[in-house]
Structure 1
Amino acid sequence: MGRRTTSKIPKKSVSVSAANSSSKDMFSAQERKTCWQAKRIGNNNTDNQLVRRRTIAVWQHRWDSDNRGRWTARLIPDLKTWLARDFGEVNYYLTQFLSGHGYFNSYLYRMRKVESPNCIYCEAEDDTAEHTFFECNKWLPEREALAMQVGTFTPRTVTGKMIENITNWDRVKMFTEKILRLKKVDLDRRQLE
């Protein structure tokens, strides 16, 4: 029986890993500033939860209107729901999945790390996170096995499935980790050829 470790980070600190971190930091700082200013002028009744709700509402508005990070916004359309979960640590592999920044040739090509944005398995023109996890036939057996466990698995449904329960979260996490570990080996092998 394996030992299960959990993060000691408070759940409110486990935020949208793939979100613009400067926005997250700015909103956290603004929350602290608002609460501090209220206490400074003697308003000790400032509701921190109200401040948090306002912060998330502003962040959601920016999230919806910004043209950057659209893959992440497709996966996580509702920040309030995502942030309210009380489980689910975002690791190295989930960060790649959620951000689209990682072992994907379209990303590596933009970073000038590979010569082509094409998929190394099926020659799709854009090897993106969406292609890798939802389209590439190389990973069809893994995708089908996951869908049997968690239900419909699409970009629109995946994070909803993840936050339903810790079992689904762990299944998606293991799915992404398995694929990205194998893909990394294959990408490295190709670089050596």
Structure 2
Amino acid sequence: MALYGAPIWAGRLTRRAKALLRRPQRYVAQRMVRAYRTTSHAATCLLAGTPAWELDAGVLAERYWARVEARRRGEPTDAEEAERLARAAAERLKQRWRDALEDSHYGTRTIGAILPVMDEWLGRRKGALTFRVTQVVSGHGCFGHYLHKIQREPGPQCHECGAMDDTAQHTLEECNRWAVERAALRAATGVIDLSLHSIIAAMLGSERNWEAVASFCEEVMSQKEKAERERETSADAIPLRRRRQGQRQRVHLTASSFPQILSTAPLESLSNFRLNYSPCARRSGPLVCFGFGQLADMHIGPGVSNRSPVDVEPSPEFP
């Protein structure tokens, strides 16, 4: 749907129109690879294997007008010629995408690691990106450097080993806290150089290597996330580090808590509820959202209010 009518508008895209076109594609790609919302459009689309829509639209327009010109000259295109033109268009699209990635100013670490093996990355048939693998590959995740950049940590230091800059590469290659996990990764993959490019190449080398890298990321990042949650909920946590509740006045509860709320809430207040029920496949159970409307300060049940949301335990891959 996004490329509907591309031959008409592809050549008229302004800078603002391109930004509007990239916004939904970035969101969809982030959902596909389970990336943080701050991950750049270029890096996210490369991880997802989807070229920028404005580039795709340009190639579609070229193919369309070439067919129109062939019909005007009375030159019918047979199946073999159409297939050849389709392959040529795919190669043009890939080359333009590669050129755009080389000129990108954001997500350069991720792009620089995948670009040399771009064909293998796009052509792979196995190997899914989990939430924690994407954190390590993109650099956007539970790392001191990233948390400091988005103003959730006072500094970029590593809480595990005390290093001055806790980046994804530091976690992958240097941090002493993960020496055992790193040794297991080297033994499983045979890779000594743990630069991101070497890791990506190893992952593409075999399904066994991909699983070994995924296992390392899951084990290390789950422990980092647990430690970060403990720092957030600590009694002496600084305001910068505490978990933000957001502006919407809502309580997020599992469906099992619904009977308790109904039994403890005043009956006259239930008419003011806005109830949204949505079964979430990646959560431990269905999620029920209660909007309080005018009952902004109302206390519902013991220990539950719109001021203190109850968290639903996330799945390992999608928080």
- TM-score, length of structure 2 as denominator length: 0.51
Aligned positions of 1:60-79 closer than 5 A: 60-78=98-116, 79=118
Cα 1:145–1:55 shift into 2, 3 Å: same
Distance 2:55 2:215 in 1: 31
Give yes or no for contact 2:172–2:194 (8 Å, CA) kept in 1: no
SS at match of 1:163: helix
1:159-192, Cα deviation, whole Å (9 max, x unpaired): 1100011111111112112111111001111222
More displaced, 32-41 or 51-60? 32-41
What letter corresponds to residue 27 of structure 1 in structure 2? Answer: L
Higher deviation after alignment, 42-51 or 112-121: 42-51
Paired letter, 2:55: F
1:103 equivalent in structure 2: 142
Report the RMSD for the aligned CA atoms in angstroms: 2.4
Within 5 Å, which residues of 2 pair with 1:11-90?
Answer: 19-21=43-45, 24-41=52-69, 42=71, 44=77, 45=82, 47-78=85-116, 79-90=118-129
Deviation at 1:70? 1.8
1:29-60 CA-partner distances (Å, limit 9, x unpaired): 33444444444544752632222221121221
Larger strand proportion of the pair:
2
CA distance in 1, matches of 2:156, 2:226: 17
Aligned to 1:132: 171
Unaligned 5+ residue runs, structure 1? 1-13
More helix by share: 1
Q: Report deviation, 1:73.
A: 2.3
- Residue of 194, 210, 218 corresponding to 1:177: 218
Alpha-carbon deviations, 1:70-128, whole Å to 9, x = none?
A: 21023213222321222112221222111111111111111111222111111211111
Which fold has the larger relative contact order, with Cα–Cα distance below 8 Å and residues 6 or more apart in sequence? Answer: 1
The answer to which of 22-31 and 178-187 deviates more is: 22-31
In the superposition, the TM-score normalised over structure 1's length comes to 0.81
After the TM superposition, which parts of structure 1 deviate over 6 Å for at least 4 consecutive aligned residues?
A: none
- Mean CA deviation greater in 28-37 or 100-109: 28-37
Check conservation: 1:56, 1:80, Cα contact below 8 A: no
Number of residue pairs aligned between Structure 1 and Structure 2: 179
